[in-house]
Chain A
Amino acid sequence: MEIIADIPETEYVLNCTSACAGCGDSLALRYVLKAAGPDTILVMPAGCTAAFQGVYPKTAYTLPVVNIAFGAAAACASGLSAFLRAKGKATKVVVYAGDGATLDIGLSAVSGAFERRTDFLYVCYDNEAYGNTGMQRSSATPLGAKTTTTPAGKPEVKKDIDTIIAAHEPPYQATACASYPQDLFRKVQKALTFEGPTFVHVLSPCPPGWRYSAEKTVEVGKLAVKSGMWVLYERENGVLSISAPTKAAMKNPVPLEEYLVLQGRFKGIDTKTVEHLRERIAGNFRRLAAEEASP
């Protein structure tokens, strides 16, 4: 059994939320909040995390949460952060938003907040679809995945939000997955040491949406990394460091099929699409290796 010694025992997400069994987002949130600590205000747009915080007047989170409209989180956080800093307060402002809120409906607000150097951490939990409304496609849905609005599999590739964020030259950005909790915890902690806008993009496996058995969330997340469908890295002041699990995957990836076969959303995917995914993984590995080799 792995002992996670340096992660605090304090919980900011109370037990028995209404999250689905095996929710990857819920797991990620736990570690993000542990890393952020008590002097934090969360800004949450519509999404799974906002939904399972509970029904007024109760809340499942022991940190304050400003709920806000789907496309408005980054802008709301801009105003909140500006006011707190004007009052000399160091309280951390953390947006916790899904892929729909980040890559789609809220993208202009995200871009605006990063360009304006908003002092905040933006965490995107990415379950690769609109989970809260019943698993419709988002621009984060990967090629070939079935959703309720792509019943034959998504014909387009996943939008590369991390490159879009990188174009804003934030002091720090990272990718993570709660299957690697220490990595996630450390990256969030690190992000919060920077002044200005920082970004952590967390893959959040989703049992009902990805159609796998609830106890396999950690395994699915690990296979995403080991197969190269998800890569772990951080970029500090523009300098890329590939994280150890992805370095290992780059040397010796597990076959992509091991990741795909666990999930109903890829059931019946044709060999041409699988080949296309494999090519994209290889291309992604090459780009990352090249960037790390010559920053």
Chain B
Amino acid sequence: MRKIATGNKAVAEAVKQARPDVVAAYPITPQSEIVETIAEYVANGQLESRYIPVESEHSSMAACIGASIAGGRTFTATSSHGLAYMHEMTNWAAGARLPGVMVNVNRALAPGWNIWAEHSDAMQERDTGWLQVYVSTVQEAYDTTLMAFRIAEHNNVLLPVMVNLDGFSLSHIMQPLDTVEPGDFIPPIHVPDPVDPKNPGGYGTITAPADQFRFRYEIERSMHDAVKVIEETEHEFAERFGRMYGAVEEYRADDADVVVVALGTFGKEAEVAVDILRNEGVKAGSVRLRWFRPFPELDLAGKEVVVIDRAISFGFGGVLAHAIRSKNFMKVYSVIAGLGGQEVTYDDIAEFVRNRRVGEESWFGVNDHV
């Protein structure tokens, strides 16, 4: 069904169709529209979930853990400080192998108070054991949220999934949205060994080093297994509903001499920049990473690479740039741009490419070479 929706509304629509047993959430700008819409669905009977209006994000994740450990499907949404406040429990959810889904609307952390898009919030959750995916359109936000439930709950994964969308520049913009009837694309949830008085056991008890080490290894192994599950899920989604994304979305990258690598809406803007550059005779392309954890294999051999980071690891540089450098044993031109919602247009991205200095880093608008 064709409609017009914001990124937030698209997420809420997908959650309604995925039918979680429990939604526990706390509002925060720019995410609030998601949980308000879900609360409305629950109130008007369109969604038969238990909606728990918790008193904090730490508690929203704890409540999702409580429901999930008994076998329930759970959803929450947050952003920025909410995600940071939740951090202790995001570790717990992944460590306990609970397949919840969360949508994080990317936003900067204070100080200063800044409600606009930045990826630092999610990057600070990078190592918790959550799968992470970054989307770039309203349609993709919807499709990916649906897929997230299936991927998280897959028996070879059993890890939580975080769907990231840029604050305001995706959460609040309106685009066409084609909704589907997911049907058995999302099968009933089956959590192995849910907590049950008929089969009592300790969940998360004190664990000695050898077992703890093994559990960590199993998370890593499931991250590897998730690559295939993601691929299969995306293929089946494409077969059923006609839209294909992949772990990475490439645009005119095959014969490109230089590619822009980015996450989220910048990755989509880069496609326009690529067209501009191609018209100028520059053989440019774009490689937009959707899945950031597990980190995809990228074929960048023989290409110059411009990486745009909307997050900074202070004292080290761009997080994505570092990942590309270390995974592909290559130098990149690292551009830090868009922090705190700084506007970055496709013209700006084209300019990054024109002025690239592979092996160097620049901060857009501060010490860039433009």
- The chain A residues found within 8 Å of chain B, CB to CB, are 38-41, 43, 50-51, 53-59, 61-69, 71-87, 91, 108-109, 111-112, 115-116
Contacts and interface: CB of A to CB of B under 8 A. Distances in A.
Given A56-B206, A67-B204, A109-B58, A76 B66 contact: yes
Interface of B: 21-22, 24, 50, 52-56, 58-60, 62-72, 74, 88-89, 92, 195-197, 199-208, 211
A66 B22 contact: no
A82 B25 CA distance: 14
A78 B202 contact: no
Contacts of A56: 202, 205-208, 211
23 contacts: A38-B197, A41-B195, A53-B205, A54-B205, A54-B206, A56-B202, A56-B205, A61-B200, A67-B203, A72-B92, A73-B62, A75-B54, A76-B62, A76-B65, A76-B66, A78-B63, A79-B52, A79-B68, A80-B69, A83-B50, A84-B70, A86-B50, A109-B56
Contact of A112 (B55, B67, B68): B55
* Chain A contact residues, majority secondary structure: mixed
B76 to A, nearest CB: 10
B63 A82 contact: yes
B81 to A, nearest CB: 15
Given A64-B195, A76-B62, A112-B54, 4 more contacts: A53-B205, A73-B62, A86-B22, A86-B72
A63 B197 contact: yes
B59 A63 contact: no
A154 B223 CA distance: 49
A76 to B, nearest CB: 4
Contacts of A59: 200-202, 205
A65 B69 CA distance: 11
8 A-B pairs with the lowest CB-CB distances in the bound complex, closest first: A79-B66, A79-B63, A112-B55, A75-B59, A80-B66, A75-B62, A67-B204, A72-B62
B363 to A, nearest CB: 37
A126 B202 CA distance: 23
A108 B55 contact: yes
B67 A65 contact: no
Contacts, number: 157
Given A56-B205, A67-B205, A82-B50, A40 B197 contact: yes
A38 B196 CA distance: 11
Contact of A71 (B24, B58, B63): B58
B203 A75 contact: no
A76 B89 CA distance: 10
A28 to B, nearest CB: 19
* Chain B contact residues, majority secondary structure: mixed
Contact of A83 (B66, B92, B197, B211): B66
Contacts of A38: 197
Contacts of B205: 50, 53-56, 59, 65, 67
Contacts of A76: 62-63, 65-66
Contact of A82 (B67, B88, B199): B67
Nearest to A18: B206
A64 B24 contact: no
A112 B26 CA distance: 12
A94 to B, nearest CB: 11
B129 to A, nearest CB: 15
Given A66-B195, A83-B67, A72 B59 contact: yes
Contacts of B201: 59, 64-65
A148 to B, nearest CB: 22
A78 B66 contact: yes
A72 B58 contact: yes
B92 A69 contact: yes
B217 to A, nearest CB: 15
Contacts of A40: 197
Contacts of A62: 200
B61 to A, nearest CB: 8
B204 A66 contact: yes
